[in-house]
Structure 1
């Protein structure tokens, strides 16, 4: 599968597993899962056919590990494989991730034009369900670079946790918090 096709299928999956499943006639379950075969049929009906092999390649090759495929079994009422996005949803889903103790520091990539709001309001999820935090500066730099020249903020996750803020970690290692108040940000960039 060539790189352009991989990116195209990945973007299609992101759009429909995170933001607009109804656009292609999908209904995600409460935890964001949908049957792989249902996804493949819905995409084909909407003129964007891809194979199970292409889907498996995108899931395996995605450097951000945005998707998880889970095998179901008839005993639990799930027939065949299921897929979901690991985080970043704007549609209502409960990823059912347990609370987790974060490392002392996490990182958030952003850009200069939003720093005034961050200084005042902290980090907010905006249209998503959670604020996304990276376990290392390099990842946060790549995230921030998608929107311009990146700034990397350090989050005092240990202090937040001690102050009873809840963290969760997705299957691909992205840390999730409901919000990050300004007092827990080291704003040196």
Structure 2
């Protein structure tokens, strides 16, 4: 399978497993899972033809590890980034002292005023290093990197979660915990 095929399948999976399962005639369960066989069948019906082996290759090679199979391999879900309501069954856990968030300059004034909000997603996504935040923020232009004082937020009672692919999640980040460096 070439890079373009992998990218096309990955984008399709992001759409249906994170945002719009009904596009493929699917329904995610409470925890975001869908049966692999149903996903393959419904995707083919919508013109996105790939087999189990191709799906496994996309999951394994995805640089951000966006997708995961269930332990028995019969189901698949997105690791985070949902705009549809799912319970990923993540337990609150103590974050590193600082985390990072990449954004674009046009959003900066609102973020400084109101903090980071999940917007259309379930959580705010945070990175453990500046490089990842830079890469994420640069998808929409030249990024601005914000430092999140996550350790202090945790000590002040805010919850953090770590997704299966290592992305840190928070419900929101109030402006008092943000620095622009």
Q: TM-score, normalised by structure 1?
A: 0.94
- Structure-2 separation of matches of 1:153 and 1:166: 19
Residue of structure 2 in register with 1:43 after alignment = 43
Equivalence map 1:1-189=2 (5 Å): 1-72=1-72, 81-188=74-181
- Structure-2 separation of matches of 1:71 and 1:105: 32
Secondary structure of the 2:145 match is strand
- Render the CA deviation track for 1:137-169: whole Å, top value 9, x for unaligned: 110000000010011110000000001000000
Secondary structure of the 1:153 match is strand
- Render the CA deviation track for 1:59-79: whole Å, top value 9, x for unaligned: 00000000001133xxxxxxx
- Structure 2 residues without counterparts, runs of 5 or longer: none
Count of matched residue positions in the alignment of Structure 1 and Structure 2 = 181
Q: Which ranges of 4 or more aligned residues in structure 1 deviate by more than 3 Å?
A: none
- Render the CA deviation track for 1:91-129: whole Å, top value 9, x for unaligned: 110111001100000000001010000010000000000
User: What's the RMSD between the two structures over aligned residues?
Assistant: 0.8
- Structure 1 residues without counterparts, runs of 5 or longer: 73-79
